Structure 1
Amino acid sequence: MTKITILGATGFAGSHIAAEAASRGHELTLLSRSTPQQPPAGARVIKGSVLDGDVLSQVLDGAEVVVGALSPRGDMEGRVSDAYADVAARLAGTPTRFLIVGGFGSLKDEAGERIVDTDAFAPEYKPESQELFAAYQRVSATDVDWTYVSPAGTFGSFVPDQTRRGEYRTGGDAAFYDADGQSVISGPDFALAVVDEIEAGAHRREHISFAY
């Protein structure tokens, strides 16, 4: 059993990771600005903001793994990078792992260019993706035991098929695709991959990605 704190626990990625981790018997602390409608049994639920220093101290205390699943939207727009830098500073000098759920745009294309910086990337999503990549740049420059995880290009609550197949592939910081040229993963299978990484610790201080 691992003591896991999830920041942004009611979001799409965070809620799926919480459910997967709980199903394996891990001890959870869930932080979000809204109360989860159906939190996993036994989870400690803290309602508050990661921007509140006292709240952040409370949820980080005793954590063996911290999962950052914040979305740079609403009052977190333009503030996720700062929030994660604060978390990293608080974890400095400790053995606590810090896994950040980033974006597909942080990956590189076949030419080695960061996808968010290409013309192919949808302009309306660039600010969010750039914010998450800025978080990667800041946290990866610290001595914290970090892992930055990018989901597939098609990932989120807007995807109709959220089936848990029980499978996924792991890549590095370059985007990869299935036989049909698609980059897809469901919420449950992304969570499966993240919790597998928490348990195995196979990719420390690496930028990795999960897709089918």
Structure 2
Amino acid sequence: MSKFLVVAANGKAGQKIVNELIARDLDVTVAVRQANKTQASQVIIKDLFELTVSDVKNFDIVIDAFGAWAPEALQQHTTSLEHLAAILAPNARLVVVGGAGSLYLDASHTVALKDSSGFPDAFKPLASAMGEGLARLRTLDVDWTYISPAADFVADGERKGHYVIEGEVFTTDDKGVSQISYADYAMALVDIATSGRYQKERHSVRW
């Protein structure tokens, strides 16, 4: 059985992912900076940037749920990925909780959602920082998968038990809605992580 480490697990997305792993009776450990807020019993209390090779050497799949919103910390969306890639075991997989703003508007992959008209100005710095992190991740020597949520990422939304996996192009349902709950995103992420597929690829998930 694969051993999972969820980094920055105290956040809302991290907690949902941990719940999903536990519900499937998978071997999960969490790495949190402060007191553990998750249901996991195996805990490493350490800042992401203080994790070492020794801390992560026994894990097959590391799920990165890190997020930073303060302007002075936005560059950590890149440096956190660099750090994790540097310390992972050679055959470990890095699965990243991503953002929707860097999804492309069409198959030409020239214009991102964050650069389109109507994208909220308040979210542009974060979306740009996460996009830069993804661009850096593509260059790192690590087995990675980056999973973007729908544009409307609903923290307390219901778990419907279904989702659609798309590629790097922003899509909507037949009503023009791009939405998914944290709970169904967590289900999709764990399905993808355990599938052994989508290596060195970015995908998006929505209802």
| Structure 2 unaligned spans of 5+ | none
C-alpha root-mean-square deviation of aligned residues, in Å?
1.8
TM-score by length of 2: 0.91
Aligned counterpart, 2:148? 150
Instruction: Return 20-29 or 115-124, whichever deviates more.
Output: 115-124
CA contact 1:72–1:131 (8 Å) conserved in 2: no
Aligned counterpart, 1:102? 98
Aligned counterpart, 1:123? 121
> Cα distance 1:76–1:56, how it changes in 2: closer, same or farther (>3 A)?
farther
CA contact 2:9–2:38 (8 Å) conserved in 1: no
Deviation string 1:91-126 (CA, Å, 9 cap, x unpaired) is: 37x110011111000101137411122232211111
Aligned counterpart, 2:179? 184
CA contact 1:108–1:115 (8 Å) conserved in 2: yes
TM-score by length of 1: 0.89
The CA distance in 2 between the partners of 1:99 and 1:25, in whole Å, is: 19
The CA distance in 2 between the partners of 1:117 and 1:48, in whole Å, is: 36
> Cα distance 1:125–1:56, how it changes in 2: closer, same or farther (>3 A)?
farther
The CA distance in 1 between the partners of 2:76 and 2:141, in whole Å, is: 21
| Structure 1 unaligned spans of 5+ | none
Offset, 1:196: 0.4
Q: 3-state DSSP class of the match of 1:51?
A: helix
Match of 2:79 among 82, 85, 88: 82
The CA distance in 2 between the partners of 1:118 and 1:3, in whole Å, is: 40
Offset, 1:77: 3.3
The CA distance in 2 between the partners of 1:117 and 1:38, in whole Å, is: 35
CA contact 2:30–2:43 (8 Å) conserved in 1: yes
The alignment covers a number of residue pairs equal to 204
Q: 3-state DSSP class of the match of 1:193?
A: helix
CA contact 2:85–2:142 (8 Å) conserved in 1: yes
Aligned counterpart, 2:160? 165
CA contact 1:66–1:96 (8 Å) conserved in 2: yes
Offset, 1:18: 0.7
